[in-house]
Structure 1
C-alpha cells in the first residue's frame, strides 16, 4: 500500500497541507500570468496597430515550447524529486523574467515574446511534477473534487485577471508588469518550500540510455490504454478548436461587436464568473459523474457556443453565450485531469501528462499559427463554425469509452 492509498481517510480536502500550499502557489502564479498576458497583448497591439500576425505570435510564443518540451519535462518529472523540481522551476522563471526585463529596458521590444516563451518551457517540468504530488498526496475518491477546486481558482482569475492585467499595464506600463511577474514567481518558490515531504525518490542510478527507455514507455503506456488513447484524440480536436478561437478573440471584440480591444477583458470576465459557478457545481456532483461524461458535456457546449460567438454581432447575446460556455467549461478541465490521474500509475503520471498535453497544445500552436492566414481567407463566422465542428467531433470520441471504469489498481490502466 502506497502513501496515496493511506491518505484515503483524510477528513477534509481543504485541510490537506499539500493542497493548501499548491493553491497558494497557484494564486501567486496566476497573478503573474494574467498581468503578463494582458501587458504583452495590449503592448503588441499598440506597437503593431492590431496586426493579427503579431498578435497571434504571442500565443505561438507561449504554447510552442509546451509542445516541444512537454515530452521531455514529463519524463524528467518522473525521475526527479517533484518538490525540488517545482521550486527550481519557479526560481529560474523569476531569473529569466528579470533578464528579459533588462533587455526590454534597453530597447528590444520584441523580447517581450521571450517572457511567455521561457516560462512556458519551465512549466513543462513543474506542471507534471505537481500532478505526481497531487496523485501522491490526495486520496483517490477526492481527486475529482481536488481538480474542481483548481478549476474554481482558474475561474476566479478569469474574472479578476483581465481587470488586474489591464489596470497594471494601463497604470504602470510594460516594464512594471513584467517585474511583477518576476516577483510573484519568487514568492511562489518560497511558498513551495512548505510542501510536505514524500517518498518519491529521484532515479539517480539510472543506466545510460534509461532516459530513452522511460521516454518511450510513456508513449507505450498511453497507446496500451484505450481510455488514454481516446483522450489523446479528443485533445487533438479540442486543441485545434481552442487555438484558432483564442487567437482571434480580439477580432470578435473589434469587428463583430464593434468595441475597442480593451472590451476583451469584459468578455473574459463574464466567461470566468460562469466558470467559477460551474466549477462549484461540478465539485458538488463530481463523485457521481464519470469524467468521460463530464468531458463530452463540456465539448458539446463548447461546440454550440463557439459557433454562436462567431456569428453574433449583439453584445448581450455574445456575453450570454460566453457565460453559458463558461458555466460548462469546467467539465472539460476536470474531466481531462481526472482521467489522466485515475488511469495512470503514480510512477508514470508525469510521462502520461507529457505525452497527452502536447497533443492538445501542439494542435493549438498549429491552429494559432494559421489563425492570421485563416482570418484573411475566411469570415470569422466560418472560422468559428469550423472550431465548433471540431469540438463536436471531440465529444463523439468519448462515446466508445463512456462506460469504462477506472482500474482499481492504477497500474492496471493498460487495458486489453
Structure 2
C-alpha cells in the first residue's frame, strides 16, 4: 500500500494532523477544566465546538469536494487551519477563555472539505480490493495517537501552557499542507469530471442517491442511533475518571492510552482479515460489543475493570470505522463520494451534537452511571437496526445504487 504515492503522502499528512489535533484537544481540555473547576457543562461544550461544524458543514463540504480538485482542496484546508490556530492564540491573549474553542470549531469546518477529498483520491487511485486495507491502516494510525497523543498533549500543556500548544498545532497543520502539496497534480482540470448543474441540484442528487441505495439507507438509520450514543459518552469520559474511579483528571490520558493500544491491535487484525468479513458484519459486531463495553465502563468503580472496558471498546472501534467507510466506498460511484459522505455523516454528527450538548445537563440531573448505560443501550439498538434493515448480502455491491445518468 505504501508504494501508492497517494496512500503514502496522505498517511504522512494524517500523522502530522493527528499530532497537532491531540496536542490542541488535550491542551484545551485541561485548560478549560482548570479555569472552570471541572464543570461538566463547560467540558461538554468543548465537544460541541469540535463536532457541531461537522454536522453543519459536512453536506456543503461533501458537495464541493465533488466539484473541486481534491489535492488543491486538502492543501488549502490545512493551511487555513494552521492560520486559524495562530488567530486563536492571538485572541486568547486579549479575550476570554472560550476563545480557545474557536480554533477547534474552525479546524472542524475545514476538515469537512478535506476529508471527503481524501476519500475521493482513494476511490480513484486505490484498487477496490485494497480499500478495506487502506481504511484499516488509517484507523491504526488513529489508534497509535490514541496511545501517544494524550501523553504528548498533557506533557506539552503542563510544561509549556496553552500558548505553546496552539503554536505547535499551527506548525503541524502547516507541515501537513506542505506534504500534501507533493501529491501528483489533480486530474480533470478545476472541477471534478462528471459534475454538472448547480450546487443545489448536485446537493439534491446526493440525497436521492443515498435514498435509492438499500445499504446506505440502513447506514443512515444506524448512524442516527449510534450518534446519540457516542455523543452521550464523549464529554463524560473525564467524569468516569473523577467520579467513578476517584482519580485526578490527568488519569484520563491512561484510559485513552489503553483504549488506543487496543485500537492498534484491533486495527492490525482487521488489516489482515478484512477480506474475509463483509463490512456490514464488521459494523454490527463492533456496535454490539461496544455496547457491552460502554455499559461495563459506566458501572465500574474499579480501575482494572474500567481498563478492560476500554480495551473492549478500543479493540472493536476499528471494526465500526472500517465497516462504515467500506460500505460507503463500495456502494458509491466516484462522482458521488463527497455528496454521499456529506449526506450520511451529518445524520451521525447531528445526533451526536444533540446528545453532547445535553450530556452535562443529564449528568447533573441524573447520574453518570445512568447516562453511560443509556449510551450503551443506544449502541445496541444501532446494531439491531442495521441487522434488521440490511438483508443478507446487501451492502457489498452497487446493484442498488442510482447511477448519475438517472
SS in 2 for 1:347: helix
Q: Post-superposition shift, 1:106?
A: 2.4
Structure-to-structure mapping, 1:10-409, within 5 angstroms: 13-203=1-191, 210-399=198-387, 400-401=389-390, 402-404=392-394, 406-407=396-397
Q: Post-superposition shift, 1:107?
A: 4.0
Alpha-carbon distance between aligned partners in 2 of 1:301 and 1:196, rounded to the nearest angstrom: 41
TM-score by length of 2: 0.96
Q: Does the CA-based 8 Å contact 1:345-1:410 persist in structure 2?
A: no
Alpha-carbon distance between aligned partners in 1 of 2:7 and 2:245, rounded to the nearest angstrom: 41
CA-atom RMSD in angstroms = 1.8
- Bigger mean CA deviation after superposition, 396-405 or 58-67: 396-405
Q: Post-superposition shift, 1:398?
A: 2.1
Alpha-carbon distance between aligned partners in 2 of 1:207 and 1:225, rounded to the nearest angstrom: 20
Q: Post-superposition shift, 1:14?
A: 1.9
Q: Post-superposition shift, 1:199?
A: 2.4
- Bigger mean CA deviation after superposition, 209-218 or 142-151: 209-218
**5+ residue gaps, structure 1:** 1-12
1:405–1:100 Cα change, 3 Å = closer
Q: Does the CA-based 8 Å contact 1:406-1:413 persist in structure 2?
A: no
Q: Does the CA-based 8 Å contact 1:293-1:398 persist in structure 2?
A: no
TM-score by length of 1: 0.93
Q: Does the CA-based 8 Å contact 1:128-1:350 persist in structure 2?
A: yes
Matched pairs, number? 402
Moved over 4 A (4+): 204-209, 408-414
Q: Post-superposition shift, 1:203?
A: 3.6
Alpha-carbon distance between aligned partners in 2 of 1:147 and 1:206, rounded to the nearest angstrom: 25
SS in 1 for 2:333: coil
